[in-house]
Amino acid sequence: MTVSNEITNSLKELENEFSVPKETLLKIIDYFVEELNRGLVDGSDPLGIPMNLQWVMEYPTGNETGDYLALDFGGTNLRVVMVHLLGNGKLETDQGFYKLPSNMRTTNDRNELFDFFAECLEKFLIDKHPSGIPENQVFPLGFTFSYPASQKRIDSGVLQRWTKGFDIPGVEGEDVVPLLMEKIIKRNLPIKVVALINDTCGALVASRYVNPKTEMGCIFGTGVNGSYYEIVSNITKFKGLIPNDIPENSLMLINCEYGSFDNAHKVIPRTKYDLIIDETSPRPGQQTFEKATAGFYLGDLLRLTLLDYYKKGIIFQNISNETVKILETEHCIDASFPSFLESDESDDLKTCKKLFNDVFKIENASFEDCYFARKASEFIGTRAARLSTCGISAAAKKRNYESFDVAADGSLYLKYTKFAERAADALAETFGWPADMPYEKHPIKIVKSLDGSGVGAAVIAALAHNRQSKGLSLGME
Ligand code: BGC
């Protein structure tokens, strides 16, 4: 089927706005390396990448053992995991999933959130020990808290700012570990938080437990971020503060928090839709890279694009007021919507048609409407995947890594149509690998991580425990 010139021209215009050609990627990567460096040297730039220390100074060997609980609070739901590390790269897990109440993202009472965590931990322990929670045992807990937290020690972390649409007063600027411990103690649970972990660090360490080629952990999900091991002597912002038993040539796992890359708006080409996303978010001016690439925003980028072209009279003419209202509702669709549109390969785009009927109450979306929306999704999804690789390329350049695996997790990487292929293609383009080189031969490969927020948290907790038992320090104080 053909489409009108009007649609073709509008799509050309849109493609232009969302495209990030190779030259732009290379420019972004160079500036990304600068920002990574700056974050290690000067922690005071409010527009810079935080480069938070995770206080993991070694690679796991695969021989860590012990039983650890993990509490995974990533953004969409909550999970409690019991991890039995058996050594030899072997482990067993047992987990419980808990739905985060929909009002929790923006509740006014921080107690609700932390008490919900403790309630889920309690439910999990009761479920696993129906005859009574053991009294003579304290479960060490790795708390996977996937938000920017500055850590002076591995078992503490002050929330720098909420991301991913969270906006709960009284938590930013506070150490979240005592907030959780207070609720754990109130419920008399035999649990002690021994490590606060970022999900990207968990992904790296969990995968490294079984795959020594792993050098980076990345999340491409509701939010976006990456971690890698840096050399301590390069972290000059804490010169003189890092304890002596962590030598200058030691490794240090860094949670880059590069969702905030380019907050100074120097290199990422932003469309008018990006500007609206930013202005209407709870934290305007922050998480610039994340707002262009992460799952929490892709649905809304599409919604704003469709709304704009509806207002220009190009698509969705004659829709009802009810549909206009839905189109005007922030976050009424998530990233699965553009992903589903993109996956429709039928000649008459019947999946797209059905989706518009189901979600936007458009009874008879035309072929042109569907075609436009599908293409718009392709531009948005492709831009996200291509930009997402800039963090990987920048870390690789910074550490001179030529061949390694990136342990990746998150809904976009796992589920968004063609995200993984597009990211691999962008890496090939950036590094100049032949376009026909099979993905499995790529020197830098993005591979599915082991469960970082569960297993990774447990391995990090075990590493902290090992250091503690040798009397080694776990942080700056
Ligand atoms: C958070 C990071 C996290 C990422 C992926 C971002 O919004 O700031 O801490 O790693 O999302 O979950």
- In angstroms, the CA 350 to CA 466 distance is 57
CB-facing half-sphere around the CA of 91: CA atoms within 13 A: 28
DSSP letter at 62 equals S
SS3 per-residue string spanning 280-336: HCCCCCCCHHHHHHCHHHHHHHHHHHHHHHHHCCCCCCCCCHHHHHHHCCCCCCCCH
DSSP letter at 403 equals S
Task: Say if ligand 1 is within 6 A of residue 221 CB.
Answer: yes
251 in Cβ contact with 59 (< 8 Å): yes
Q: Which of 100, 160, 257 to mutate to test the pocket of ligand 1 (most atoms within 8 A of CB)?
A: 257
pLDDT tens sequence for the chain (477 residues) = 789 999 999 999 999 999 999 999 999 999 999 999 999 999 888 899 999 999 999 999 999 999 999 999 987 789 999 999 999 989 999 999 999 998 999 999 999 999 999 999 999 999 999 898 888 889 999 999 999 999 999 999 999 999 999 999 999 999 999 999 999 999 999 999 999 999 999 999 999 999 999 999 999 999 999 999 999 999 999 999 999 999 999 999 999 999 999 999 999 999 999 999 999 999 999 999 999 999 999 999 999 999 999 999 999 998 999 999 999 999 999 999 999 999 999 999 999 999 999 999 999 899 999 999 999 999 999 999 999 999 999 999 999 999 999 999 999 999 999 999 999 999 999 999 998 999 999 999 999 999 999 999 999 999 999 999 999 999 997
256 in Cβ contact with 395 (< 8 Å): yes
* Residue-level pLDDT at 364: 87
* Residue-level pLDDT at 1: 78
DSSP letter at 159 equals E
120 in Cβ contact with 100 (< 8 Å): no
- Residue 13, Cβ density class (10 Å: 0-12 exposed, 13-18 middle, ≥19 buried): exposed
Among 115, 155, 175, 199, the active-site one is 199
- In angstroms, the CA 107 to CA 319 distance is 35
DSSP letter at 187 equals T
Q: Which of 196, 225, 256, 288 to mutate to test the pocket of ligand 1 (most atoms within 8 A of CB)?
A: 225
* Residue-level pLDDT at 20: 98
Distance 146 CA to ligand 1 centre (A): 5
Assign 3-state DSSP to the chain and report helix, strand, coil percentages, each to 5: 45, 20, 35
- Size (the chain), residues: 477
397 Cβ contact partners less than 8 Å away, ≥ 6 residues apart = 29, 33
Distance 257 CA to ligand 1 centre (A): 7
199 catalytic? Reply is yes
Closest ligand 1 atom, residue 287 Cα: 7
Structure tokens at 288: 């610039």
* Residue-level pLDDT at 326: 97
Kindly report the protein residue whose alpha carbon is nearest to atom 11 of ligand 1: 223
Nearest to 222 by CA among 102, 72, 334, 386: 334
- Residue 210, Cβ density class (10 Å: 0-12 exposed, 13-18 middle, ≥19 buried): middle
* Residue-level pLDDT at 2: 87
Coil/strand/helix, residue 181:
helix
Task: Say if ligand 1 is within 6 A of residue 74 CB.
Answer: yes
* Residue-level pLDDT at 102: 85
- In angstroms, the CA 56 to CA 197 distance is 10
Task: Say if ligand 1 is within 6 A of residue 146 CB.
Answer: yes
102 catalytic? Reply is no
Instruction: Report the 10 Å Cβ neighbour count for 450.
Output: 24
Please state at what angle helix 457-469 crosses helix 199-210, rounded to 10 degrees. Answer: 80
- In angstroms, the CA 248 to CA 301 distance is 44
159 in Cβ contact with 172 (< 8 Å): yes
Kindly report the protein residue whose alpha carbon is nearest to atom 8 of ligand 1: 147
* Residue-level pLDDT at 53: 98
146 catalytic? Reply is yes
- In angstroms, the CA 447 to CA 430 distance is 18
DSSP letter string, 126-148:
HHH-TT---SS--EEEEEEE-S-
What is the set of domains in the chain, with CATH numbers?
Answer: 1-45+215-224+259-449 (3.40.367.20), 53-211+450-469 (3.30.420.40)
Distance 294 CA to ligand 1 centre (A): 10
